[in-house]
Amino acid sequence: MMTLTPSSATDVVAAVAEAVATRAPLVLRGLSSKAGIGRPDGNERPLFLAGLTGVTLYEPEELVLSARAGTPVAEIEALLDARGQELAFEPMSFAALHGTGQGTLGGAVMANQSGPRRIKMGAARDHVLGVEAVSGRGELFKAGGRVVKNVTGYDLAKGLCGSWGTLAVATELTVKVLPKAETAATLILSGLEPAAAVKALSAALGSPADVSGAAHLPAAAAARAGFPTAATLIRLEGFEPSVAARFERLAALLKPFAPADRLDGEASAALWRAIRDVAPLAEPADRAIWRVSVAPTAGPSVAAAVTASRPADVLFDWGGGLVWIATEAAGDGGAAAIRSAVAATGGGHATLIRGPAALRESVPVFQPQPAALAALGRRLKAEFDPLGILNPARMAGDA
């Protein structure tokens, strides 16, 4: 089957218009870093967007960057780093989990990827200012703008975040960028059980310490990250005198939990990249990986319920509110146990991020939606992509 490789928004309009005319669905691909997430592809024609590349606007003084959707995130990060700036939402790389690279800006935003700094800086959608995209009708549209304060009615640019390419093909995005911290340090508490660790993380997040990362690695995950025992991790960023002062105050606050150690420099940065990318759970590569979002206090209970029912390793981020679970892919890959635990602890979302095609065909990959929300999703799909041209298989039957 011939692939489509557009190099401009006009090319994308033509490709989608042809697909609409021939009723031939498309599967969207950037650098294919997330191709293994969602239901397996059917007979859709690939639409490769890696040709839509290049930064089209960068105003460091205004903290604004625009780039075509196929621009590699690594390229953007290198450009920003040279000016002491960054994408504060820390889009993850799927290299550890899927053997792929970090992907494109369009993929990161349409998947609403958000790393450990989400607890302080918000999700990817909170950093999107504007988008140019092509709907499933073959119509080019723009939403938002290039300024932080932008009033245009319904915030469609943010609404597309997390749609996984099922509503529109993003061709260009504008995001706000932020200054990179001068210093980053990690406070480490050793040997805590998950419940105690989440209490410590909650205390840190509720303090004036301005925490930008709050994670816990139980013993198995900690060992893969090079720690001798379970590690509770708190990141502080800013100017060195401020980081040093906040570290001392936080160490005193958390002393009842455990003595504090400090990790600095590249070792600290590498640790948070590993947490962002879920590297401590990546091996063995045949395990299913679930991303579970719940209330932070519910995280340990969800993990305990799942590990009591089947062999599993876990990693906690976002103060306990994001639980990564690695378990055997056999059977339902833990779907029933995980979603039952989530429901029993107040509700949330469980998404299968890695699993063999057979598993992704047999269980809902994305969290099944309540009836009212599912109905809203169908109405949005009917407006943006009434013929089901864009990524029809990815969320089929799930959302």
CA separation for the pair 125, 107 (Å, rounded): 12
CA separation for the pair 254, 56 (Å, rounded): 46
pLDDT, tens digit (0-9, with 9 covering 90-100), for 265-322: 999 999 999 999 999 999 999 999 999 999 999 999 999 999 999 999 999 999 999 9
Question: With contact defined as beta carbons under 8 Å apart, do 52 and 6 qualify?
Answer: yes
Rounded to the nearest angstrom, the gap between the alpha carbon of residue 333 and the centroid of all alpha carbons in its chain is 21
**Paired sense of beta strands 178-179 and 85-86, if any:** antiparallel
pTM of the shown model: 0.95
Nearest-Å Rg of the Cα atoms of the chain is 21
Residues 6 or more apart whose CB falls under 8 angstroms from that of 206 comprise: none
What is residue 399's predicted lDDT score, i.e. its pLDDT? 55
CA separation for the pair 398, 95 (Å, rounded): 25
CA separation for the pair 73, 129 (Å, rounded): 17
Question: Where does residue 243 rank: exposed (0-12), middle (13-18), buried (19+ CB within 10 A)?
Answer: buried
- Whether the pLDDT of residue 369 is over 90: the answer is no
What is residue 341's predicted lDDT score, i.e. its pLDDT? 97
Closest-CA residue to 366 (of 347, 339, 345): 339
Beta partners for 173?
Answer: 67, 131
- In this prediction, residue 376 has a pLDDT band, given cuts at 50, 70 and 90, of confident
CA separation for the pair 176, 66 (Å, rounded): 9
What is residue 158's predicted lDDT score, i.e. its pLDDT? 86
pLDDT, tens digit (0-9, with 9 covering 90-100), for 54-69: 999 999 999 999 999 9
Share of the chain above pLDDT 70, in %: 96
Q: Phi, psi (5° rounding) for residue 57?
A: -155, 130
CB atoms within 10 A of CB 330: 13
CA separation for the pair 56, 132 (Å, rounded): 12
Question: With contact defined as beta carbons under 8 Å apart, do 324 and 314 qualify?
Answer: yes
CB atoms within 10 A of CB 262: 15
E strand or H helix that includes residue 15: helix 9-22
Mean per-residue pLDDT over the chain, rounded = 94
Place of tokens 């299913």: 288
Question: With contact defined as beta carbons under 8 Å apart, do 222 and 204 qualify?
Answer: no
pLDDT, tens digit (0-9, with 9 covering 90-100), for 117-140: 999 999 999 999 999 999 999 999
CA separation for the pair 3, 267 (Å, rounded): 42
Written as six digits, the tokens of 282 are 């990546």
